[in-house]
Amino acid sequence: MGSVATAAAAKANRLVLMGFDVDGVLTDGTLYFGTQGDEIKAFSSLDGHGLKMLQRAGVEVAIISGRSSRALELRAENLGVKELHMGVEDKRRLLAELAARRGIDLAQTGYMGDDVVDLPILRACGFSATVADAHDEVLGRVDYVASKNGGRGAVREVCDLILRAQGKWDAAMAEYLT
């Protein structure tokens, strides 16, 4: 493991709460609108299962998005994510509120975002991650850059990294290997 990955894993080891952006992270960032104005989003099943594995391992998952959509509500419900926050203008403030409610330090929180609007929250949390196709300004300012693009397994890669860093990987995989 390289020094960057080792440093990222050390930060991921402390996580109690991990937040994720939606457009460009949980999706590929493309926005689809139907003729009636309904929004359609495509989500990766690999990413979704990674979020479920994190939750089963005791890491709380939050979805924090600047946009709102019924498609996202349905996806969060499907994944059992209780902390869904849409239409959020100040993601950093929201993360601080979530941490305070749990009595944890921001160093025990993480976030995965992809654009410059995510920089305030990415710089405030204890572990920051992004997708391979993130904005250049984000790529150089996070703890971990996934090898995959948004909506294409990057979230799963980060979930797996967190599980490994916390020594929970083997337990998470046990049900699939027996």
- CA distances in angstroms from 160 to 53, 67, 91, 94, 106, listed in the order given: 9, 26, 24, 25, 21
Helix (H, G, I), strand (E, B) or coil at 150: coil
> pLDDT digit string (tens) for 53-88?
999 999 999 999 999 999 999 999 999 999 999 999
- pLDDT at residue 5 above 80? no
Q: Which residue has tokens 């300004």?
A: 137
CATH fold label, 3-173: Rossmann fold (3.40.50)
> pLDDT digit string (tens) for 92-131?
999 999 999 999 999 999 999 999 999 999 999 999 999 9
- pLDDT at residue 38 above 90? no
Domain boundaries, the chain: 3-173
